[in-house]
A and B are shown apart, each in its own frame.
Chain A
């Protein structure tokens, strides 16, 4: 006979032991000697998945549907295989971004959206409430069972008990107390609750051993092993049905439940807490991949034997199958085992409640309450020195409220359902996080609006198809809501929505809610755009394993803040000691002396934000940092600015390139100009040198012969006459040369006198031909004139035009062979002007000489005479005259085929 005081004392002793473990764990963590930094503790902490639902409910479920309790464990086992891919990524993302909860994770992924954080929190609180109430119900009902021994009557309806007589109420109070003790002593929620994890792991061991002990006692003490139980069960016609897996509908349920439990193993807030947030080393995931399924296998080993034993030993309806685990040892006077079983169940329940409420408290505080409080300016929260106390208060009250609401749920509704059914309702709610959570780490394109749409759609359908019907079944809503649908519309029956029948309510709700959730999530994401912050966060999450992931966000932060402001800000949330330590470490790591540096760089701003995010969540941290950092959040505008800036830089560098190209071009031009100047200088020197030479040559002859004549008075008359003639000719040559040099200089300097008149070009050509006719006669060269019969008059300087023609004709004579030469002078009238050509049949001009033939002193040597006659200035003068008259002059020639010197003049030359 177990006395209630014994049970209570043992229970309290056990809870105190748990607390001692937690305290010790925290102490060790503070000393840096973690007791949880090993994969076994990690895997055991994930086993918080096995709650009193598992401990008591599996047997209850098996009593209804045989192995139908299994999908809930099959799913996580399958999922564990994918953990290295999925869970490890979440762990890494959470470490990098100091994620504190699943709400924080989802909010952070979709652009640090406060809306999403709040939404996830609300869904979590409402959705998980039934689950917590399940634990309360289990503890209180098993307590009653244990207490009322050997009265095995079905537990009384708790709703009929006065509040103060309801053990469930006290259980809730005690659990609230312990949750507060475990979870809200620290403030930085992203720091690991090492003590809590240690306690949870210990509880996992206790509940496993307790369950195995009961199973062993039942199987081997009450019966003769597995074979005995199964044989006897198979012989019982009532139990035989449990051996069948079931019809097609059951297969659908199996698949649905397996999928459901696959996602909730990560999506339940407490699972996210232990598996992601509390993870201290992502390598632990590797071992958990097989350790956790092993745990699940062991804890399910004796479910069927206990179920069959209960069904075989107790008359139908006398004992609630949910209580078989406890009732069987009691019935066989195994008080120790019974008490141990109770403690095991208590372990399962407390573990779940503690972790779940702490996770929910963090979420409610960071993602729901703080954002609201921070917005209420009249609270002057932004100016308060120390907010860490406030945060703790909020979390503690959250725990109390959540547990109280859960208690209300179990008191008002829970009585009408089995443990597993209540649990599955919560599972279904938690599963709503899956698309946004898992999609968010693999699909960069998922948008905030998509996530919100999916969550809202899924949650509403869950609300309508699972939660509201549970109110209806408990009488809080009219029963017709279930049987006839909302407003009596058959299509709106919550368990047969749109006529979908034949499914278990949970499967039914899951199918509809997930279809709506995933559908909205994907469609809205595809149809909407991400803002800049979303894009940044999406990249940080999806690409977390890329090398730049860790510091990736700082480059997006454009704000500036003073170190003092940031320090003061962090101080208010983390307290002096923690803040000092964090900043000291940061300074050491980045080799910064805060005594000297006053302006925080983006990295420090980011660091402060992450510190805060660990305490109050990403969204709130963003707001807080924004309050001290000028320049603030990167909006689309700012990203565009960054992009603009980048494009400006590009444009600028392009401009620079262009400038430098221009400079290069200018330099090249300068160099060319310089070369040209040098060339001109050289040409000038050459010119002077050439002129000097040309002048000295006749001068030499004149002087020589003058001296000879002077020194030799006795020269004969013939020789004297010859020498005098030479003197005269050379003097003429000299004068001519001097005139030409002067002419050229005048033309080039623009000092030449021009006399413009109306001329008939034919007449000018004819006169020029006449003027040179003697030269042609002397060398017996034929001169042909080809003139048009009729042509316009022209406005030009007659003498200069004639000078050009005479010059060309003289040249032609010089270069033609005596007696064989043929020279044509041809005049052609065009539209704008006229062209005059002098064509000879001389040796022609070599191509290399043609470009320079009009330059000064560029005489082309020829083979006919040793030295060409003339000054070498004739063509240069011709060119100068033609250019002055607005025309052009050129030469066409091939060696051996004569040359054609042509010039064009407009009818009206510029004056």
Chain B
């Protein structure tokens, strides 16, 4: 089964680039443009990794992260926060809410791919 990534961001160009990168890395990619859409997508099918932007209209990234962590069924979902606000407090807040990793924008494309890969469960175990 193909490993899946959910890309969540309100910036269309960033979504576009991440979508390209994840597809290139061989993951099954879905995208969401805001928090609500993201949760809907998770409900449809829990992805292996969520690339989650923090600053979004409607429900922001923290909110979505909390909602995912609140449901034990989604324990396996890995959450990587993306933020353009490079302050420590935001990083800590995200981790405290149950995020698994944290990437600051602008990011290195290779690093993003590596990180996502590192959070994927080993192939074949699923």
What is the interface of chain A, defined by CB distance below 8 A to chain B? 689, 692-694, 696-697, 699-705, 707-708, 711-712, 726, 729-730, 861, 866-867
Contact = CB atoms under 8 A, between A and B. Distances in A.
B108 interface: yes
Contact of A704 (B57, B84, B87, B109): B109
A171 B110 CA distance: 146
A700 B10 contact: no
B109 A700 contact: no
Given A693-B55, A701-B17, A726-B16, A707 B108 contact: yes
B109 A697 contact: no
Contacts of B86: 692, 696
B114 interface: no
B43 interface: no
B48 interface: no
Among A689, A704, A729, the one with the most B-chain Cβ atoms within 10 Å of its Cβ is A704
B21 A700 contact: no
A866 B106 contact: no
A701 B11 contact: yes
A867 B109 contact: no
Contact of A703 (B16, B34, B106): B106
B27 to A, nearest CB: 16
Q: Which 9 A-B pairs have the closest CB atoms?
A: A704-B17, A696-B84, A701-B13, A700-B106, A700-B105, A693-B84, A703-B106, A707-B109, A699-B106
Nearest to B82: A700
Interface string B19-39: 011001000000001100000
B99 interface: no
A553 B80 CA distance: 90
B18 interface: yes
Given A693-B84, A730-B13, A708 B105 contact: no
B95 interface: no
B57 A696 contact: no
7 contacts: A699-B105, A699-B106, A704-B17, A705-B13, A708-B20, A861-B57, A867-B57
Contact of A708 (B33, B85, B87, B109): B109
B17 A705 contact: yes
A700 B58 CA distance: 22
A197 to B, nearest CB: 100
B93 to A, nearest CB: 13
A881 B23 CA distance: 47
Contacts of A701: 11, 13-14, 17
A345 B60 CA distance: 124
B7 to A, nearest CB: 12
Given A697-B11, A704-B107, 16 more contacts: A689-B87, A692-B84, A694-B84, A696-B106, A700-B107, A701-B11, A701-B17, A703-B109, A704-B13, A707-B109, A708-B109, A712-B24, A861-B58, A866-B10, A866-B34, A867-B57
Nearest to A719: B20
Given A693-B84, A708-B21, A866 B105 contact: no
Nearest to A866: B33
Interface string B87-121: 10000000000000000011111100000000000
A701 B106 CA distance: 8
Contacts of B55: 693
By size class, the interface of chain B is 20 to 34
A701 B85 CA distance: 15
Nearest to A706: B109
Task: Decide if the interface of chain A is mainly helix, strand, loop or mixed.
Answer: helix
A689 B85 contact: yes
B14 A692 contact: no
A726 B13 CA distance: 7
A697 B57 contact: no
Contacts of A867: 10-11, 57
B14 A697 contact: yes
Given A708-B17, A730-B13, A866-B34, A700 B84 contact: yes
Contacts of A726: 13, 16
Contacts of A696: 84, 86, 105-106
A692 B85 contact: yes
Contact of A711 (B33, B84, B109): B109
B24 to A, nearest CB: 8
A700 to B, nearest CB: 4
Contacts of A700: 11, 14, 84, 105-107
Which residue, of B11, B14, B84, B110, has the highest number of chain A Cβ atoms within 10 A? Answer: B84
Contacts of B107: 700, 703-704
Which residue, of A689, A700, A711, has the highest number of chain B Cβ atoms within 10 A?
A700
Contacts of A699: 105-106
A705 B106 CA distance: 11
Given A689-B87, A692-B85, A697-B84, A704 B33 contact: no
Contacts of B33: 866
A694 B10 CA distance: 13
Contacts of B84: 692-694, 696-697, 700
A64 B106 CA distance: 140
Contacts of B105: 696-697, 699-700
Given A689-B87, A692-B86, A693-B85, A704 B18 contact: yes
A693 B21 CA distance: 22
Interface in B36-64: 55, 57-58
Nearest to A695: B84
Contacts of B57: 861, 866-867
B23 to A, nearest CB: 11
A93 to B, nearest CB: 84
Given A692-B85, A693-B85, A704 B10 contact: no
Contacts of B85: 689, 692-693
Contacts of A866: 10, 33-34, 57
Contacts of B87: 689
Nearest to A689: B85
Nearest to A729: B13
A867 B86 CA distance: 21
A692 B87 CA distance: 10
Contacts of A730: 13
A867 B58 CA distance: 10
B35 to A, nearest CB: 11
Which of A702, A703, A711, A867 has the most B CB atoms < 10 Å from its CB?
A: A867
Nearest to A862: B57
A701 B84 CA distance: 12
B45 to A, nearest CB: 22
Contacts of B108: 703, 707
Nearest to B13: A701
